[in-house]
Amino acid sequence: MDITKLIRTIPDYPKAGIMFRDITTLLNDAKGFRRTVDELVLPHAGTKIDKVAGIEARGFILGGAVAHQLSVGFIPVRKKGKLPWETISQEYELEYGSDHVEIHVDAVEKGEHILLVDDLIATGGTAEASIKLLEQAGANVVACSFVIDLPDLGGRKRLEQLNKPVIALCEFEGE
């Protein structure tokens, strides 16, 4: 099964020149969704993973399913102000300005091995901030898994420069 055929491309969204890779069509296909989760889990069989961290919002769907399959806990990595309790935060740069990701202060125990999951790696800014946040909390991010890599934007290389293994199930050219 070629999962790329289940990913919808929406031209000029959210702005002109962007080819948005929409995984909702993949999630809507039972066999495709199952295959995707299985392929995200398989490379980590036999690896010590204590929890999966999923980046808001599609990373929650995928990360939750991966955590379930690995029989480990799940950590939501959210945008600033979305979590209801005490948080720690990591700022990161956007094209115009900055943003923050947060986790609860008790989401990670020192030394836990974390798998970071999201639907797509583009520039890698949010993923890098998530790694720094989890490590600030005392975790060891052992790998980063994505459904889609946009290699032209350099996110994979950015994470690999942090010595993080990066797994992506498929690639698309461009933005």
Q: What are phi and psi of 63, to 5 degrees?
A: -65, -40
Active-site pick, 21, 58, 78, 156: 58
Q: What are phi and psi of 9, to 5 degrees?
A: -105, 125
Number of Cβ within 10 Å of residue 10's Cβ equals: 11
Active-site pick, 91, 93, 95, 171: 95
70-123 tens-digit pLDDT: 999 999 999 999 999 999 999 998 767 799 999 999 999 999 999 999 999 999
Q: Distance between CA atoms of 35 and 3, rounded to whole angstroms?
A: 8
Q: Which domains does the chain have, with CATH numbers?
A: 34-171 (3.40.50.2020)
Q: What are phi and psi of 173, to 5 degrees?
A: -75, 160
28-45 tens-digit pLDDT: 999 999 999 999 999 998
